[in-house]
Chain A
Amino acid sequence: MVVFETVLVANRGEIAVRVMRTAQRLGLAAVAVYSEADKNALHTRQADEAVLIGPAPAGQSYLNVDAVLEAARVSGAQAIHPGYGFLAENAGFARRVADAGLVWVGPPPEAIEAMGDKIAARNAMIEAGVPVAPGTSEPVRDASSAVHAAASLGYPLMVKAAAGGGGIGMSAVEDDGQLGAAFETARTRAERFFGSPAILLERCIRPARHVEVQVLGLADGRVVALGERDCSVQRRHQKVAEEAPAPGLSAQTRTALLDAARRAAWAVGYRGAGTVEFLFDPVSEELMFLEMNTRLQVEHPVTELVTGVDLVEQQLRIAAGQPPSFDPDAVPAARGHAVEFRVYAEDPVRFLPGPGKITAWQEPTGEGIRVDSGYAEGDTVTPHYDPLMAKLCAWGEDRAQALDRLGAAAAAFRVEGPKCNLPLLAELLDQPDFRAGDYDTGLVDRMRG
């Protein structure tokens, strides 16, 4: 690569480590940024150079645009990869990166903005011919307008922060009474977490499967789809396990899904790696656009395992104006099956966080096993950041083999110190409907009664 030789990874934990691995494999130097809490963190150790950017709270470190740009300046980095979360979907940051004369390893800021507001995104998708669930086309201002809108949309409804993500502030409501309370909670959280009180109401699809498509907007403007993932195993509207391909989709549904995803990305002039999320109604076989994540996704490894494509490499190539490493006219199809489980520092029953010092950490190895970790033995999981410690992934010739390998790997994964949700995976693998690939987003709630 000639456009940049040094890339700064503006993130922490497993994703920073994972991005740096590809950058270093490609011969690039990797610069880490770290907070005072992450002085000895794995991502800091993995980097060729590491720059302290502030105290532990993310607002003063990983979310501090000036500090990150200053770190790029002092380290001589020529490109910035944002990972996911933190500044990854911050269009203002993307502009500041470009204004500083650096390469932004991400989509154009206009595409981030077009998809960042869920209401504007829904409206743009309707215009682009991408199917959406019935919902409000303007922000809902107060509880009484919400009740008014609900009368025409019908229950059950989802109450969501228009600027939100990660399931924060989102809830399902069954009637006017629940709507009033949920609306106030959503608005408070929307303001606190996303800095905007705008609320969206959308028809709640139940049962539903969460399916999503990995897209790449190429440097020449074409958009290709690298297959789909199913992410229906969720707790608190956040994903716990993901797999590729999505089980049980008909060829016709898969074609419609990939086509809708390409159209969605095309409509906003997308470049780089992104994910278009849909809800799939397994009864009516209808697809409905949910949102587009304008960044690398946590669960991207399952796509890498079935396609053999390194998505971070494609991000770097696209940012450098180069063609992808595969022939865009013959996009690699999925081979075999891959499953990922998110290893969180939380208890497997109530899903409450349990940070702590890692006194033992032994990762499983074996055929088809991949572990992306942000921690190692002796590291401390602090309460300052999200609970993801590692991603345990397994590939198999078919789904049954992938699940068997995942189960064996989970049993061999030793984590002591923080709370750890690995027992949930063992339980999940014993669920007949999960085993059969016939499950929806209500699976974990049903397991917990």
Chain B
Amino acid sequence: MSNKIHAEMVANVWKVVAKPGDHVGIGDTLVILESMKMEIPVLAETEGTVRELAVHEGDVVQQGDLIAEVE
């Protein structure tokens, strides 16, 4: 089973914290977005292995864009 995490808002990707293959728990930070002078951590919603990180530091994501996939 895999869990895809999408951006909730337009934002800049400030930091990519996790990398493919990492084992993560619920609530672990995968990526930190920045929008309107605020840091917004993107957290793992399920426990598992990070299969894909769809963003790079400095990217701009639109609402609904895929950020990461955990399985």
Contact = CB atoms under 8 A, between A and B. Distances in A.
A352 B10 contact: no
A128 B10 CA distance: 47
A82 interface: no
A244 B64 CA distance: 42
Interface stretch (B23-31, B36-44, B45-53): B36-44
Measured as residues with beta carbon below 8 angstroms from the partner, the interface class of chain A is 10 to 19
Contacts of B40: 352-353
Interface stretch (A71-79, A294-302, A380-388): A380-388
A353 B39 CA distance: 10
B9 A355 contact: yes
Contacts, number: 40
Contacts of B8: 352
A134 interface: no
Contact of B9 (A166, A168, A383): A383
B68 interface: no
Contacts of A353: 9, 11, 35-36, 38, 40
B10 A345 contact: no
Contacts of A109: none
Interface in A349-369: 352-356
> Majority SS of interface residues in chain A?
loop
Contacts of A346: 36
A385 B12 CA distance: 11
Question: Taking each of A345, A354, A356, which has the highest tally of chain B beta carbons within 10 Å of its own beta carbon?
Answer: A354
Contacts of A355: 9-10, 35-36
Contacts of A168: 37
Contacts of B10: 355-356, 382-383
The interface centre, meaning the residue of B11, B37, B38 with most chain A CB atoms within 10 A of its CB, is B37
Nearest to B9: A354
A339 to B, nearest CB: 24
A419 B35 CA distance: 13
A354 B9 CA distance: 6
A62 to B, nearest CB: 12
Interface in B1-21: 8-12
Nearest to A58: B37
Nearest to B40: A352
Contacts of A382: 10
A382 B12 CA distance: 10
B16 to A, nearest CB: 16
A352 B38 CA distance: 8
Given A352-B40, A353-B36, A354-B9, 17 more contacts: A166-B37, A168-B37, A345-B36, A352-B9, A353-B9, A353-B11, A353-B35, A355-B10, A356-B10, A383-B11, A383-B12, A384-B12, A384-B36, A385-B36, A386-B37, A387-B36, A387-B37
The 5 closest A-B pairs by CB, nearest first: A353-B36, A383-B35, A387-B36, A353-B35, A383-B10
Interface of A: 166, 168, 345-346, 352-356, 382-387, 419
20 contacts: A166-B37, A168-B37, A346-B36, A352-B8, A353-B9, A353-B11, A353-B36, A354-B9, A355-B36, A356-B63, A383-B11, A383-B34, A383-B35, A383-B36, A384-B36, A385-B36, A385-B37, A386-B36, A387-B36, A419-B9
